[in-house]
Structure 1
Amino acid sequence: MIKRSLKAIKVMINGEGLEEKFESVMVEGVSIDSRTVKKGNLFIPIIRIKDGHNYVLEAMKNGAIAALWEKNRSNPPKDIPLIFVDNTLLALQSLASSYRNQLSIKVIGITGSNGKTTTKDMVNSIVSTSFNVHKTRGNLNSQIGLPLTILEVSEDDEIVVLEMGMSERGQIEQLSKIAQPDIAIITMIGLSHIATLGSREEIAKAKLEILAGLKENGLFIFYGDEPLLNEVKYTYNTSRIRFITFGVSTDNDIYASSVFEESGEYKFFINNRNASLYTVPLMGKHNVQNALAAISVGKELGIKEENIVSGLKNLTITEMRMQKLISKSGYTIINDAWNASPNSVTAAIEAFQELRHYNKKIIVLGDMLELGAKEEDYHKEIGQIIDPDRIDYLITYGPLSKHTANEAKKTFGKERVKHFTDKKEIVELIKDITMENDIILVKGSRGMALEEIVNLLL
């Protein structure tokens, strides 16, 4: 984590007003939460739903050693180390950017409509075989989360793997300029945020903002079967940026060949060469594409082939991303409740339908949010792709998912499709119909909080 004197931090953020007697005070790490602040932290009072300035004294009591304070806020606390700034969020971002420039690290930035977190975990698993790596924890990929992640980096770290999320145009550009990646990855372009951005074309433009901070001669790795991304080759200065494409088509620089499933894992070679057999220990053929992006990073960094293979095979994924859990009753739950879009739900269903060696297969779907004017159509389409010959029950939750249920009833019949407005009723039904060696997929948008169902089932 960052360890700097208050005098140095004041310079890094262009702050003012620090009393001379506090200049030599050493900061170890930063915090924006007075409840979890640690001894020696710099407390940064962010203004969100609540005003962090109201918690500065509490943060100091809990171990913070100093704080920032916005100049336009009245009544700053007396006799504690304060650095005054115009805007605390911008100061947090400036501090992270300045710290990044002082570190001898390579940064890998990852964005995309789906697959960001899984790809981040894959890159981390491969690169950790050969380097000291720091990666984004959980979902700290926002305008606040990414700077906090950078400020957690140690002076001993060599590689930093950063996930970059967004909800509107301009946000990825800001994150990229803070992180200044040496390698940038876009996993794919889907429909997430189409309600605010309006089209896939605009979504692609928003994701391509990751190139704004890409370093000179940096490497851009992207899904080459997406025309909206391939255009970058003709619109960006190729003397400044290098490209690697991955995908299904053999026109890509790296593609999977001889893909096959074995015991819930996917195995493949690359580019029709049988030198190494790669294993993705995850459900879903779509994860092979995420693996190709991660393998490309490993090769760019000169990691030995055997380490790339072993790193991918020994992958550990972030919670609620196709997370395999075993209940006390012996049935299996696939917890993919972190988020949902038409692309990711379709991929999850297709992967789930391919599973063998289970007795009953049950799908629990919650609403897909932020899909704009066509949200009902997208939910109906999900109901149409579920195969009644390979799925035993479909259970839906939320007003939009009722359209999924109604559409699925046309092929399933009414008895095997149930819609609920109460999560406890879903749990009761599943416990009644589920036995050992059954499997349940749970997926929905973040706002639906379907992990509550998972926790009750365990």
Structure 2
Amino acid sequence: MAVLWTSQDAATATGGRATRAFMATGISIDTRSIRPGDLFVALKDVRDGHDFVADALKKGACAALVSRVPEGCTEADPLLIVPEVLGALEDLGRVGRARARAQVIAVTGSVGKTSTKEMLRAVLSAQGSVHAAEASFNNHWGVPITLARMPQDADFAVIEIGMNHPGEISPLVAMARPHAAMITTVAAAHLEAFENLEGIAREKACVFGGLEPGGTAVLPTGLPVTPILLEAANAHAAKVVTFGPEPGSDYLLRAATIMGDATIVQAETAGAPLLFKVMTPGKHFANNALGVLAVAAAVGADPAVAALDIGQWAPPAGRGARERIWLDIIDEAQSFDLFDDAFNANPASMAAGLEVLAGQTPRDGVGRVHRGRRVAILGEMLELGPEEGRLHAAIAEHPAMAVIDIIHAAGSRMRDMFESLPRDQRGEWFESAKDLAARAPHLVDAGDVVLVKGSKGSKVSLVVDALRKLGQPGAAEAFKGKE
């Protein structure tokens, strides 16, 4: 593997002192996933990373970034000693960004950051080498890690930028210095830290403040807060590109038609028709795909090639990915389809997930019930502030709910929603997702299409795990390619 940081380079970047020479081929903050050659960064979070330095070195870390000699280590060990670890990591990120030749893209938004980042990774990979954030590395340590890991010869870099509170985006985008910045959408999320949707929009719009000279702002139309985004974009960007269903959008969404496991997108840009497909169901994916094409063009990629390659993209785990769970290793009909969307939830993404479920066709004539059902298993939406009760209850009134056969739910915030449902739609409700997961064999049946949706903190992913365990070992291999 190529060397990312020599001890001399890292010491110069951070103002630290290396006790021994080293060459780092990667950067890690977790000993559970550390690889030989990684520089281990001893961050302090729930636990102090200094407590794990000795273990990291035993597992092959080339050195550790520390603010003191940890217990179990001596200066004979390879250490980079700095005044403060997070500040030194930020220094590595800034230097990593400065020395790279890549066209840098920043992605933020209330919904769809990670899936859009992965979509960009997919479409740009055919046109150059791409460096992108792992998982949801989008916060005060995730962004500098991503930048510090950036290979100097990468052609493109995709940096995901998130926030929970006011003032978080500006320092992160100042570190990333993107050539193009995209906002996916602005919706009711993190309302406990913001007075209203306008406040969220102003914070998201800060992503345009860090654009490089000549940079491009890419933003959605048709939102109540689009004018706020446009004002910030016009103030900081050399070029502003819009996408969405609103007439006058630079990338105009004409129609998004869900057909099985795909979404057919009809759009228009510069007066020319644009037709492509996204290999996952969801109108929200279609809209974000348009934004992706706008970004690809902004950083010099061929948008026509990108439109073809976007059809190869699939959502990451926990972000709406669809899978089939086989309940019988002999009879492939004894199975159900699962949409795992258990990583994040707010009213906008909940609505999008329910619309996807409503558009699915279950299979009749199999299983105990003999009638395929659309099944929603919903966990709580967190960080919604004083309006959380009303926002949860409003889910029951969403038009998509009319064609969903049964709804199971977990969490006290979901109880009002559950009790607002017609009795024939009510499945099971429990205070905790763990208790609901224990009922997994009774929640679904063969022929069903099942959506599991909730915030990560709701632990509704436990239900996903329990549903997967209903699958018969070896069935996925036996029926591969037949679903």
Do they fold alike, i.e. is TM over 0.5?
A: yes
> Could you say if the C-alpha distance between residues 393 and 99 of structure 1 is closer, same or farther in structure 2, counting changes exceeding 3 Å?
same
Alignment of 1:320-335 (within 5 A): 320-329=318-327, 330-335=335-340
Q: Write the distance in 1 (CA, Å) between the matches of 2:87 and 2:350.
A: 36
Larger deviation: 358-367 or 53-62?
A: 53-62
Alignment of 1:234-273 (within 5 A): 234-235=231-232, 238=235, 240-271=237-268
Contact 1:380 1:404 in 2 (8 A): yes
Find the counterpart in structure 1 of residue 10 from structure 2. 9
411, 417, 428: which one pairs with 1:418? 428
Find the counterpart in structure 2 of residue 147 from structure 1. 144
Query: What SS does the corresponding residue of 2:252 show, helix, strand or coil?
Result: strand
Q: Write the distance in 1 (CA, Å) between the matches of 2:4 and 2:444.
A: 53
* Residue identity matched to 2:294: S
Find the counterpart in structure 2 of residue 82 from structure 1. 79
Contact 2:97 2:176 in 1 (8 A): yes
Shift of 1:445: 0.8
* Residue identity matched to 2:285: N
* Residue identity matched to 1:256: L
Q: Write the distance in 2 (CA, Å) between the matches of 1:186 and 1:37.
A: 32
> Could you say if the C-alpha distance between residues 72 and 429 of structure 1 is closer, same or farther in structure 2, counting changes exceeding 3 Å?
closer
Count of residue pairs brought into register by the alignment: 451
Long gaps (5+) in structure 1: none
Q: Write the distance in 1 (CA, Å) between the matches of 2:138 and 2:244.
A: 25
Contact 1:94 1:178 in 2 (8 A): no
Q: Write the distance in 2 (CA, Å) between the matches of 1:206 and 1:32.
A: 28
Alignment of 1:211-226 (within 5 A): 211-226=208-223
Find the counterpart in structure 1 of residue 367 from structure 2. none
Query: What SS does the corresponding residue of 1:225 show, helix, strand or coil?
Result: coil
> Could you say if the C-alpha distance between residues 373 and 422 of structure 1 is closer, same or farther in structure 2, counting changes exceeding 3 Å?
closer
Shift of 1:302: 4.0
Query: What SS does the corresponding residue of 1:286 show, helix, strand or coil?
Result: helix
Long gaps (5+) in structure 2: 328-334, 364-371, 469-483
Larger deviation: 366-375 or 386-395?
A: 386-395
Query: What SS does the corresponding residue of 1:94 show, helix, strand or coil?
Result: helix
For residues 352-384 of structure 1, what are the alpha-carbon distances to aligned partners after superposition, in whole Å with 9 as ceiling and x for unaligned?
112235421111111111111111111110112
- What's the RMSD between the two structures over aligned residues? 2.5
Q: Write the distance in 2 (CA, Å) between the matches of 1:86 and 1:242.
A: 41
For residues 187-225 of structure 1, what are the alpha-carbon distances to aligned partners after superposition, in whole Å with 9 as ceiling and x for unaligned?
111111110122212211221221232111111101122
* Residue identity matched to 1:447: G
Q: Write the distance in 2 (CA, Å) between the matches of 1:286 and 1:236.
A: 22
Find the counterpart in structure 2 of residue 456 from structure 1. 466
1:189 to 2:186 alignment: yes
Query: What SS does the corresponding residue of 2:54 show, helix, strand or coil?
Result: helix
Q: Write the distance in 2 (CA, Å) between the matches of 1:379 and 1:131.
A: 44
TM-score (norm 1): 0.91
1:438 to 2:448 alignment: yes
* Residue identity matched to 1:253: D
For residues 97-148 of structure 1, what are the alpha-carbon distances to aligned partners after superposition, in whole Å with 9 as ceiling and x for unaligned?
1011111111111000001112112212211121111222211222112222
Shift of 1:41: 2.6
Q: Write the distance in 2 (CA, Å) between the matches of 1:70 and 1:158.
A: 34
1:336 to 2:341 alignment: yes
Larger deviation: 332-341 or 296-305?
A: 296-305
Larger deviation: 327-336 or 140-149?
A: 140-149
Query: What SS does the corresponding residue of 2:375 show, helix, strand or coil?
Result: strand
> Could you say if the C-alpha distance between residues 396 and 152 of structure 1 is closer, same or farther in structure 2, counting changes exceeding 3 Å?
same
Q: Write the distance in 2 (CA, Å) between the matches of 1:333 and 1:3.
A: 40
> Could you say if the C-alpha distance between residues 169 and 422 of structure 1 is closer, same or farther in structure 2, counting changes exceeding 3 Å?
closer
* Residue identity matched to 1:284: G
Contact 2:111 2:187 in 1 (8 A): yes
Q: Write the distance in 2 (CA, Å) between the matches of 1:62 and 1:449.
A: 31
* Residue identity matched to 1:95: L
* Residue identity matched to 1:300: A
Find the counterpart in structure 2 of residue 291 from structure 1. 289
For residues 47-91 of structure 1, what are the alpha-carbon distances to aligned partners after superposition, in whole Å with 9 as ceiling and x for unaligned?
112112233233222222322332699998332333332210111
Find the counterpart in structure 2 of residue 130 from structure 1. 127
Q: Write the distance in 1 (CA, Å) between the matches of 2:378 and 2:110.
A: 19
Q: Write the distance in 1 (CA, Å) between the matches of 2:382 and 2:144.
A: 27
49, 52, 68: which one pairs with 1:52? 49
Alignment of 1:37-116 (within 5 A): 37-70=34-67, 77-116=74-113
Contact 1:110 1:185 in 2 (8 A): yes
* Residue identity matched to 1:346: A
Query: What SS does the corresponding residue of 1:11 show, helix, strand or coil?
Result: helix
Larger deviation: 63-72 or 189-198?
A: 63-72
Find the counterpart in structure 2 of residue 31 from structure 1. 28
378, 383, 390: which one pairs with 2:396? 383
Shift of 1:419: 1.4
